[in-house]
Amino acid sequence: MDFLEWIPAYDATAVWVDPWKMDFWGSLYVTLTGMFIVLSCGWVGVYLILRRLALVGDAISHSVLPGLVIALLIAGKVTSTAMFLGALVAGVVTTALIEFLHGASRTKPDAAIGVSFTFLFALGVILVNSFAGSIDLDADCVLHGELIHVAMEVFDPESVVTAFGVEWPMTLVRMAGVTVVTVALILVFYKELLVSSFDAGLAASLGYRPRWIHYGLMIMLSWVIVSAFESVGAILVIAMLILPGATAYLWVQRLPALLVLTTVFSPIISLGGYHLGVWLNCSIAAAMALAAAILFLITWVIEPKNGLIRQGWTRWKAFLSMRQAEVR
């Protein structure tokens, strides 16, 4: 077998039309779920980027695992309440642990993040493996998830919700609910988040309590992560958190514009990822993260004001004018 032969041939009809023709509803479920994940993660992610907390997002996306496992062990079965509480506790514990390690010793903040999340994640993996029989979690899935399961959920009558005369899979409905709540929360606390993200001192002087806002954001983050967990896994969720916001940040810098652009990106990433996954015959969640990365790469290169092409062009012109000046 030749190297590179493993890349499937590209056939436009097979990639873009067939999935919808053959299984319209399945494709719709997968892309909609993906869109909601990208949307909710992206909105929270915008604030992570602005507050330079991208790596705390990384940390929490790992450390929700033990919280989730312990909550599921206590609850005995997979329920939304248990998952929510587990994520909440895990988010608060991680944030507090990082602050404690950093504040009570001379450990630097980056090392504090690294030490605490690897510990919590390792704990989670050990728990998953020790109680693999009693909970419905799989260590590998924890890392990369499987979005395609959403499409199969409709075959299980227990995980189906009927609305508008159509059967919707539970995961999709839950993700839609999470997205609505996240967006609503961000809009309600828009001013507080805005001020505390850009000027913590001003926020404190206005009586906003930046610390509470920080913890609130971290709780929201862990909630979004834990909802997306099952579908995209711990590490791919970081892609959904950071990439849409970072791509938007290259185009615009105003907060409302960032949020709008992230919203616009979410269906693009979801659809692009779905079809990329169909073409390459690989994990759909990974393909969506890849689509987000490709979107970023394209933006990075072609963005008109600061893109790589523009930067190269400016440098080339400067070089030319310098040479002309030398000739004279």
Binding site for another protein (CB under 8 A): 1, 3, 6, 49, 52-55, 57-58, 62, 101, 104-108, 110-111, 113-115, 118-119, 121-123, 125-126, 129-130, 139-140, 143-144, 235-236, 238-239, 241-243, 246, 249-250, 253, 277, 280-283, 285-287, 289-290, 292-293, 296, 300, 306, 308, 311
* Shortest Å distance, C-beta 324 to another protein: 26
Beta bridge partners of 162: 167
What is the Cα–Cα distance from 109 to 99, expressed in whole angstroms? 8
* Shortest Å distance, C-beta 240 to another protein: 8
Which one, 129 or 134, has the nearer CB to another protein? 129
Q: Check if the beta carbon of residue 195 is closer than 8 Å to that of residue 213.
A: no
* Shortest Å distance, C-beta 163 to another protein: 32
The CB density around residue 212, as the number of other CB atoms within 10 Å, is 11
- Show the DSSP H helices in the chain as ranges: 12, 18-22, 24-50, 54-75, 80-104, 109-130, 139-144, 149-153, 170-188, 190-198, 200-205, 210-232, 236-251, 255-280, 284-302, 308-327
Burial of 26 (0-12, 13-18, 19+ CB in 10 A): middle
* Shortest Å distance, C-beta 162 to another protein: 32
* Shortest Å distance, C-beta 52 to another protein: 5
φ and ψ at 93, to 5 degrees? Answer: -60, -45
Q: What are 172's two structure tokens?
A: 């999709």
First to last CA, the chain: 60
Which one, 55 or 194, has the nearer CB to another protein? 55
* Shortest Å distance, C-beta 280 to another protein: 6
What is the Cα–Cα distance from 233 to 251, expressed in whole angstroms? 28
Which one, 175 or 241, has the nearer CB to another protein? 241
* Shortest Å distance, C-beta 130 to another protein: 8
Nearest to 82 by CA among 136, 33, 31: 136
Which one, 138 or 156, has the nearer CB to another protein? 138
* Shortest Å distance, C-beta 72 to another protein: 18
SS3 sequence, 115-175? Answer: HHHHHHHHHHHHHHHHCCCCCCCCHHHHHHCCCCHHHHHCCCHHHEEEECCEEEEHHHHHH
Q: Check if the beta carbon of residue 193 is closer than 8 Å to that of residue 259.
A: no
CA separation, residue 149 to residues 40, 87, 276, 306 (Å): 20, 22, 17, 40
* Shortest Å distance, C-beta 127 to another protein: 9
Which one, 169 or 273, has the nearer CB to another protein? 273
Which one, 107 or 159, has the nearer CB to another protein? 107
Which one, 208 or 277, has the nearer CB to another protein? 277
Which one, 204 or 293, has the nearer CB to another protein? 293
Separation of CA 207 from chain center: 31
Which one, 183 or 250, has the nearer CB to another protein? 250
